[in-house]
Amino acid sequence: MEMLTYKLVYKRPLIVIISFIVNIIIILILIIIIIIIIIIIIIIIYLGYTTEGGKNNNIFIQIEIGYSMYLGAPLLPGSALDKAWDKRCEDIERASDRLNAIRPNVQDALILLKSSFSAQKCS
């Protein structure tokens, strides 16, 4: 009786080696990217806490709570809210002056045009 021996034979050993090398390269690139991100974070933290000559070179700006805004909208009552209201009142006053300057039939046409572009109220 003959003994059968099986050998592991890769049909394409070059492809296996190349895929292994590519995987190693991808892992090394990811490690390098992570190291670069960590270095950038350390630099930002360092710049945020360094002081020279008694001056704080913080990258964050400290403001009073009344001046706080987010995307142009005031967060809390205070100076920023007053400024936003003043700007809106000026816009409304300018619009009313311009509306008074045009003839009444044109006003009606503008109101109809504006209402035709707005969405209906659903109740």
**Domain boundaries of the chain, sorted by first residue:** 24-55, 67-114
Show the DSSP H helices in the chain as ranges: 13-49, 79-101, 104-117
Residues 10 and 12: their CA atoms lie apart, in Å, by 5
User: 89, 109, 85: which is closest to 99 by C-alpha?
Assistant: 109
Q: What percent of the chain has pLDDT over 90?
A: 15
* Residue 113, helix vs strand vs coil: helix
- How high is the mean pLDDT of the chain? 76
User: Quick one: pLDDT band at residue 76, thresholds 50, 70, 90?
Assistant: confident
Residues 47 and 92: their CA atoms lie apart, in Å, by 45
Instruction: Pick 9 or 73 by higher pLDDT.
Output: 73
Structure tokens, 72: 């142009």
pLDDT in tens, 11-64: 667 777 888 899 999 999 999 999 999 999 888 777 765 555 545 555 667 777
